[in-house]
A and B are shown apart, each in its own frame.
Chain A
Amino acid sequence: MSTSTSQGVRLEAVSKTYGSETVVRDISLTIPQGEFFTLLGPSGSGKTTTLSMIAGFTLPDGGRIHIDGKDATRAPPRDRGLGMVFQNYAIFPHLDVFGNVAFPLNVRKVPKPEVAKRVAGALEMVKLTSFEKRFARELSGGQQQRVALARAIVGHPPVVLMDEPLGALDKNLRYHMQVEIKEISRRLGMTVIYVTHDQEEALTMSDRIAIMNRGSIAQIGPPREVYERPGSAFVARFLGEANLIAAKREGGALRGAGGAWFEVASDRPQAAGGQVFVRPEKVSILPEGGAPSANQIAGTVRHTAFLGNVVRYEVTLPDGQIVLCDATNASGTVLRQPGEAVRLGWQRADALLLEA
């Protein structure tokens, strides 16, 4: 339990197999000290198993895990010195808030006055001062979450693991806690390894995100990069709504349905075609008239969804593909009705060519 002169966490070709099923395949990662790192993926993608191997609850079949510069591949969980927040909070029902938060210190035989001081500090940080005598059953979901958080940080561990810690909270509270967790992690300079299947949460909180799919890392990078520059259709779709428009290469140009042609920021010149990726909010409805140019398509509004700050249009292209367009509800916006013909367009910088 040292403070911030730590070296973070490193995984080298870590694998885990259950029977004939490989749950985690050759994962290598380096997470520097102080980084907020998120493992994001659908259920069954191996993110929880990966976290469990870092925690020491699951032993890898192959590869090495280094924590704080030391090889911890086979070390028992108690010797890894990690803070942990569990999915179900795992608050001890027989202990009050003080007892719960003091637990990691008590089992490590920290002297009593020191325990009292540290617990008070941790509870203050999660704004639960004066709740010391309460039991879990007397706390709301959000308060239990805070107890779990206080318990994870009370020993000042260099690395804190969090397994879908906000999954059970309602939306407002979740946003609140996201901000708070982020704030605390920054203040304490801790490395956080965070597991979630909620892409919005991952984008909001992380310094870097690893998107996992079927036991492997599909892409790794800062939120904006993975969101705007996805390397595959899977990542593009998983991180939010994505338009993936079929395109063929004809005479050097990428052509789509209805005579449209596309120019993209990052092309794959060798490919005979693929899917043009563009986020719905980068697509706009063009005014009538104007000369045809690249990255314009014509279609018919199929559905108009008024979401408040945004209006989402589903537009059908001549070949039947559907393109989403999120228009901000700026002043003077006229809503397009289903059946109306519209022209859509976007900037070259916002489009990529992905494998079909």
Chain B
Amino acid sequence: MPLRLAAKWALIAPALALLLLLFITPIGWFIWESLTELGSLEEVWLETQAVLGSRAILGAILNTNGIALTVTVMVLVIGYPLSYALSRARGLAFSLVLLCIVIPYFTSVIVRTYAWMVILGRNGLINQILLGLGFVSEPVDLLYNRTGVIIGMTYVLLPYMVLTLYAAMKAVDQRLLQAAEGMGAKPMAVFAKVFLPLTLHGVTAGSLIVFILALGFFITPALMGGPGDIMMAMLIEREIELSHNWPVAALMTIVLLGITLALYALYGRVSDKAEGGFAR
């Protein structure tokens, strides 16, 4: 039964009010305060040029997008087969796999990051195994560099991809796969010509979610990355805490928020299309 417009607004209102009070107002206020500090519009324009021309800031923007993209690809490569297994699993196997996937959700960021340090450190588990087996002659650096950041973020963001893909895969009509097989398609063809296209909207949606979330990452790159892995959120924090340069922080916030909102708009369109397009 479709809800009346008023009823819809009444249902959304509490969440909207909360967002307005705790998110939109402070951000708006922060940006306004920071930029008015500069005095005139001309000053704001000059500052904007300075920010966009700064190598450190441009580097952070590129880093952030590069890391987010790599993580998204990694999460997709690991998540797609995992989601498929999950969509096929039943009973205990299903519960166990699901549990393993959502545990990072429920673990404190700090705890799971330190757990990674134990595993990835120079004297960590992986290096001991590699050394013990004679694959390497001295420890491999898996922490405090790009590799560490990617590993840590991939792990944290995997559940978002898996749950999105799982939903898309569960929605695939099994009879279509059977029909394809009956029409002479080999298993690879059933996958490539039917299953993959029918779950592609899940791939797009999951990738966008992961990419958007990755853009704003702060703690993981700060703890597991090196000096070359400065992401935007880290730089913003630094401008506020260390440099007390609020206008620069505000301008960077606008850039980050702009990229994020643009991607959200894209995500909205993709999920709308998926709902309307393949509805049975």
One of B178, B197, B280 near A57 (C-beta < 8 A): B178
How far apart are B49's CB and chain A's nearest CB, in angstroms? 47
Query: Chain A, interface size: which category?
Result: 20 to 34
Asked if A151 meets B183 with Cβ closer than 8 Å, knowing A93-B277, A94-B197, the reply is yes
How far apart are B184's CB and chain A's nearest CB, in angstroms? 5
Interface presence of A178 (CB below 8 A):
no
Residue of A nearest to B196 (CB): A94
Interface presence of A41 (CB below 8 A):
no
Q: Which of B63-71, B159-167, B186-194 contacts A (4 or more CB under 8 A)?
A: B186-194
Is A82 within 8 A of B182, CB to CB? yes
Is B198 within 8 A of A107, CB to CB? no
Residue of A nearest to B189 (CB): A107
How far apart are A55's CB and chain B's nearest CB, in angstroms? 6
How far apart are A210's CB and chain B's nearest CB, in angstroms? 22
How far apart are A140's CB and chain B's nearest CB, in angstroms? 15
Is B176 within 8 A of A78, CB to CB? no
One of A77, A90, A93, A155 near B175 (C-beta < 8 A): A90
Is B181 within 8 A of A77, CB to CB? yes
Interface presence of B126 (CB below 8 A):
no
Interface presence of B46 (CB below 8 A):
no
Is A78 within 8 A of B181, CB to CB? yes
Is A90 within 8 A of B176, CB to CB? yes
One of A76, A88, A137 near B181 (C-beta < 8 A): A76
Residue of B nearest to A82 (CB): B182
For A106, list chain B residues within 8 Å (CB). 193
Bound CA span A90–B181, Å: 12
* A residues adjacent to B (C-beta < 8 A): 55-57, 76-78, 81-82, 84, 86, 88, 90, 92-94, 103-104, 106-108, 137, 151, 155
Count, A-B residue pairs, CB within 8 A: 61
Dominant SS among interface residues on chain B: helix
Interface presence of B261 (CB below 8 A):
no
Bound CA span A260–B263, Å: 86
Asked if A103 meets B193 with Cβ closer than 8 Å, knowing A77-B181, A77-B182, the reply is yes
For B197, list chain A residues within 8 Å (CB). 94
How far apart are B162's CB and chain A's nearest CB, in angstroms? 22
Interface presence of B179 (CB below 8 A):
yes
Bound CA span A106–B182, Å: 13
Bound CA span A108–B184, Å: 7
Is B182 within 8 A of A107, CB to CB? no
Bound CA span A78–B181, Å: 5
How far apart are B161's CB and chain A's nearest CB, in angstroms? 21
Is A93 within 8 A of B198, CB to CB? yes
How far apart are B195's CB and chain A's nearest CB, in angstroms? 10
What are 17 contact pairs spanning A and B, CB under 8 A? A57-B178, A77-B182, A78-B181, A78-B183, A78-B186, A81-B184, A84-B179, A84-B182, A88-B173, A90-B178, A92-B176, A92-B194, A93-B198, A94-B278, A107-B184, A108-B184, A151-B183
Is B175 within 8 A of A103, CB to CB? no
What per-residue 1/0 map shows which CB atoms of B115-136 lie under 8 Å from chain A? Answer: 0000000000000000000000
Interface presence of B180 (CB below 8 A):
yes
How far apart are A163's CB and chain B's nearest CB, in angstroms? 10
Is B277 within 8 A of A78, CB to CB? no
For B193, list chain A residues within 8 Å (CB). 103, 106-107
Bound CA span A104–B190, Å: 11
For A84, list chain B residues within 8 Å (CB). 179, 182-183
Bound CA span A151–B185, Å: 14
One of A57, A92, A107 near B186 (C-beta < 8 A): A107
How far apart are B8's CB and chain A's nearest CB, in angstroms? 25
Asked if A103 meets B182 with Cβ closer than 8 Å, knowing A90-B175, A94-B197, the reply is no
Is B185 within 8 A of A107, CB to CB? yes
What per-residue 1/0 map shows which CB atoms of B37-75 lie under 8 Å from chain A? Answer: 000000000000000000000000000000000000000
Bound CA span A93–B171, Å: 12
Asked if A56 meets B182 with Cβ closer than 8 Å, knowing A86-B175, A92-B176, A94-B197, the reply is yes
How far apart are A49's CB and chain B's nearest CB, in angstroms? 14
